[in-house]
Structure 1
């Protein structure tokens, strides 16, 4: 059997996780990105709109669509930031907090099932490897400017 590349394994696994979360979220009229946004917004304090995108790793256009959908569904409200009048704070509504709790439960369930099937030392190694991959990418150590890898 042909050996699978690391990026293929990462991509295929992420697509499976994403599909699973989207199927689960669809039962509640939502999506994985809505669930992730709900979990990224502080339940009590809210979050400045400018901080949400970087925290979620989402591009502004995708985030704008997600927030519009969330606002239309009554999950969030946007308020003028009292500290910075030019900015906007995003706060969860009562319904948003309920859906956030549901999203949190789904994530914790996922984590529990994984922990039941994979020994802790293997999970620790997986996390260490994933963090190292992210570090290598962030430090631009995969591809150099001249096209060679290090």
Structure 2
């Protein structure tokens, strides 16, 4: 392709970021998916398991596998929801909170590195464009038949 499509640039960028995050997570015996899950769980109140999938953009089977691994590694515990006994809350263990802090540091380090290299006005425009693309997709205007 002479010119890269928007899709290509977004996908290639995200693949690079995911690879970088997985390399960092691997240093602590973890993965990007685990780090993302740790950051998505409320460290004080816990988070309903049913809200994690949509929050993270993960399919139920992938999320179940990730949560099972996290439970086996001692990062999380599942507890009945005191408000609704039919649902389960995912809580971080002390080790899970430590790893959450590590994941947060990794994300913020990346964020700061990008902010140092790219002018604020360019990043602002990037955010505007990204949100506009998400709105366009959410509105179903692209492939409505």
TM-score > 0.5 by shorter chain: yes
- Give TM class, smaller chain: over 0.9
Instruction: Provide Cα deviations, 1:69-126, integer angstroms capped at 9, x if missing partner.
Output: 0000000000011111010000000000000000000000000000000000000000
Equivalent positions of 1:27-38 (< 5 A) are 27-38=27-38
**Residue segments in structure 1 that go unaligned for 5+ positions in a row:** 146-150
Distance 1:142 1:129 in 2: 16
Residue 41 of structure 2 is matched in structure 1 by 41
**Could you state the TM-score of these two structures normalised by the residue count of structure 1?**
0.95
Query: Pairwise CA RMSD of aligned residues?
Result: 0.8
With structure 2 as the length reference, what TM-score do the two structures score? 0.98
Structure number with higher relative contact order (C-alpha < 8 Å, ≥ 6 residues apart): 2
How far is 1:143 from its partner?
Answer: 1.2
User: 1:61 is paired with a residue of what secondary structure?
Assistant: helix
Q: How many residues align?
A: 145
Residue aligning to 2:54: 54
User: In the aligned structure 2, how far is the partner of 1:142 from the partner of 1:31?
Assistant: 34
Q: Which runs of 4+ in 1 moved over 4 A?
A: none
Show the 5 A alignment for 1:55-94: 55-94=55-94
Provide the rounded CA distance (Å) in 2 between the counterparts of 1:86 and 1:14: 37
- Superposed CA deviations along residues 38-69 of structure 1, whole A, max 9, x for unmatched, are 00001110101111111111110000000000
